[in-house]
Amino acid sequence: MSPNQAPSLAVQDPAGERAGRDAEPAVRLRALRKAFGPVTAVDGVDLDIAQGEFFSMLGPSGSGKTTVLRMIAGFELPTSGTVELAGRDVSTLAPFQRDVNTVFQDYALFPHMNVLANVEYGLRVKRVPRAQRRERALEALRTVRLEDFAGRKPSQLSGGQRQRVALARALVNRPRVLLLDEPLGALDLKLRQAMQVELKQIQREVGITFVFVTHDQDEALTMSDRIAVFNNGAIEQVGSPVEVYERPASAFVAGFVGTSNLLSGPAAEQVIGRRGIYSIRPEKIRIDADLAVPAQAGETSATGAVTSVVYAGATVRYEVSLDAGGQLSVVRPNEGPAADALRLDGSRVRLVWRDEHSFRVAAGS
């Protein structure tokens, strides 16, 4: 966040104008492009983010999500295309002229100031009167559950607490849109998971639109109302976590969000009965040592040999080489004695899944 943030539109706008803007998406991107010399970082992005949404931009490193975030913030100007915030074209405006704040991974707190002074700083720059400043900073600290830490220096806080101070410092400005650039990236896994839940709760409480950049699919699935999956500077799919996970629109999405099996070529023709490339999630497949049980209506089945069994505590992962060709991974909950699962190594088995769990992600050859 820039400590030099201008007063928010919430303060500047006449009430009528603000009401009109409430009907608009919080963020609207149209044909957004950004080239850095010969590199096209963002290649024609169209996106509407609703007010109050927790929206994640998910994708591998270099897919363009941070550049999109930086164009929303105003740290980069688009090569072409537009950025609108609540219906207002801000494409060429400076960051401080936009009603957004950004929380970065390296939270950059002032080390010599205590927590309260860090949170108050932006309001001080805007010359908000002292009593009001204090009240708003304490409210922001309460929101991130750090009111008891107001007097501490950043060096006396844990990584998660520091990240929450950074969040409070952004929330105190009451922006319409909060941009978060991998804010949990520096935290260890346990803390990160705890912060994911907390961040989502905070977002619900404050009702501000959150636009969250991450390359971590679990994080995106856990927190988001909707996710945009980025690949090569473009969006492959936008949808709820359930839609993106259960119905990936492409082989890329199927592979990037969760793990997925892909069946193609003659194996797909023989098992599914149609040409194309099909995705099947490993946890949707049942594994049965009894080869004779007939498939039920609405089910697809295939036989094969187990080539490996990986015991992973809560789950067991089987690799199965199909008689029809191709390989499928199967993940089952570890329900029975571990020895039962391990005994399947090398066995012939039958795999069964509901028809709707194998779906076409590409035409295939």
Residues forming the site for ligand ATP (CB under 6 A):
36, 39, 41, 59, 61-67, 215
Non-local CB neighbours of 129 within 8 Å, separated by 6+ positions: none
Quick one: 59 or 95, whose CB is closer to ligand ATP? 59
Q: Which amino acid makes up residue 88? A: R
Quick one: 67 or 264, whose CB is closer to ligand ATP? 67
Quick one: 21 or 34, whose CB is closer to ligand ATP? 34
Nearest approach, Cβ of residue 91 and ligand ATP (Å)? 17
Nearest approach, Cβ of residue 233 and ligand ATP (Å)? 7
**DSSP per-residue string spanning 156-216:** GS-HHHHHHHHHHHHHTT--SEEEEESTTTTS-HHHHHHHHHHHHHHHHHH--EEEEEES-
Is the distance from CB of 300 to CB of 355 less than 8 angstroms? yes
Nearest approach, Cβ of residue 231 and ligand ATP (Å)? 9
Quick one: 17 or 46, whose CB is closer to ligand ATP? 46
In what order do the strands lie in the sheet containing 261-263? Answer: 261-263, 277-280, 358-362
Select from 241, 98, 245, 243 the least CA-distant residue to 175: 98
Select from 255, 211, 213, 259 the least CA-distant residue to 236: 255
Nearest approach, Cβ of residue 159 and ligand ATP (Å)? 20
Nearest approach, Cβ of residue 154 and ligand ATP (Å)? 25
In this structure, what are the phi and psi dihedrals at residue 175, rounded to the nearest 5 degrees? -70, 160
User: What sign results for the dihedral spanned by CA atoms 113, 117, 123, 126?
Assistant: negative
Nearest approach, Cβ of residue 68 and ligand ATP (Å)? 7
Distance CA 226, CA 232 (A): 20
Quick one: 59 or 154, whose CB is closer to ligand ATP? 59
Quick one: 68 or 137, whose CB is closer to ligand ATP? 68
- Each residue of 337-355: b (16+ CB within 10 Å) or e? eeeebeebeeeebbbbbee
Quick one: 71 or 170, whose CB is closer to ligand ATP? 71
Let me know the angle formed at the C-alpha of 119 by 114 and 123, rounded to the nearest 5 degrees: 125
**DSSP per-residue string spanning 207-221:** --EEEEEES-HHHHH
Nearest approach, Cβ of residue 64 and ligand ATP (Å)? 4
